[in-house]
Structure 1
Amino acid sequence: MGEVIYHQDKSFESVNFNGKTLIDREFNNCNFINCNFAESVLNDNIFDECVFENCDFSMSSFLSTGLNKVRFIGCKLMGVDFANCNKLMFSPSYDNCIMDYCSFYGARLKNTSFVKCSLMEVDFCEADLTSACFKESDLIGATFSNTVLKKADFRQAQNIAIDPEYNSLAKAKFTIDQLEGLLYKYNLEVDNNF
């Protein structure tokens, strides 16, 4: 690690970081609007109380990076491996983001909010999603195995497929219409019209 570069209360708009390497930086209370971070290396950074709006992070690397109280709004985060982020500084929230093919394997995501997100084929295995909210998010093909989902709210989520035998679901919230996604492996026909 080299000398850390600090950024405080700054706004970055329409900056193209595509494919660039940004390491050993600390961003406090910064805003990033319409920035392109696709395929960037963002390792060993700290983002503290930052907001990213309409940014592209597809296939970016966040190895050992802290995302403390960071909000992603309308961002594209396809293929990002969040499992390697700094686990002690990891409290992001996601609103209206495309997060297909991301990995949260083993991540601590207590109280994390995924609102109106596309979470296709996302890996949530071994993660702790206690009290997480998946409001209006699409979970098609998302993988849950040995995942802690206690008190998680799936009531407005779509395309749920979670095996209760291999996940902790105590007090998780679902609707009657979502039962099929919890019983899929039994090949039952659930009829809501009877």
Structure 2
Amino acid sequence: MLGLRFDKCSEFLFSASFTHCTLNFSSFYKLKIKKTKFQECIIQEVDFSETDLSEAVFDRCDLKDANFDNTILEKADFTTSYHYRIDPDNNKIRKAKFSRDGLAGLLTKYDIQIK
């Protein structure tokens, strides 16, 4: 599934979970999708701007070039996901979970090398 516009869906009773999906170029702009589960998905170049992803689980997902801008990620779990770039100053990440290997994705804007 490429380029899906979930942001055009009615939020009334909207809920979804994704397993083994390719969601590249899709948009979740401004949706409230708390506790959504993404399992083993390819989620490249997806727009999560201003989305409420509180307590969402990204289990073994490829988030290359996904856009997180003013996104609520409180208590979200990214521990097994990779290629994400999230600016902690521009998103709410209180109590979100990340692996040590994923820390570089939180520090991208500083243009530093982590070894």
- The TM-score normalised by the length of structure 2 is 0.98
- 3-state SS, counterpart of residue 34 of structure 2: coil
Q: CA deviation at 1:84?
A: 1.0
Residue segments in structure 1 that go unaligned for 5+ positions in a row: 1-76
Tell me which amino acid in the other structure corresponds to 2:70.
N
Tell me which amino acid in the other structure corresponds to 2:80.
Q
Q: CA deviation at 1:94?
A: 0.3
Aligned to 1:177: 101
Q: Per residue, is there more strand in 1 or in 2? A: 1
Q: CA deviation at 1:162?
A: 0.3
Tell me which amino acid in the other structure corresponds to 1:89.
L
Identity among equivalent pairs (%): 43
- 3-state SS, counterpart of residue 134 of structure 1: strand
Which of the numbers 18, 32, 54 marks the counterpart of 1:130? 54
Q: Which has the higher contact order (CA 8 A, sep 6+)?
A: 2
Q: Which has the larger radius of gyration?
A: 1
Equivalent residue runs for 1:15-94 within 5 Å: 77-94=1-18
Q: CA deviation at 1:139?
A: 0.1
Q: Which runs of 4+ in 1 moved over 4 A?
A: none
Residue segments in structure 2 that go unaligned for 5+ positions in a row: none
Q: Quote the Cα distance in structure 1 between the aligned partners of 2:14 and 2:58.
A: 18
- 3-state SS, counterpart of residue 165 of structure 1: coil
Aligned to 2:111: 187
Tell me which amino acid in the other structure corresponds to 1:176.
R
For these two proteins, the number of residue pairs brought into alignment is 115
Q: Does 1:167 align with 2:78?
A: no
- The TM-score normalised by the length of structure 1 is 0.59
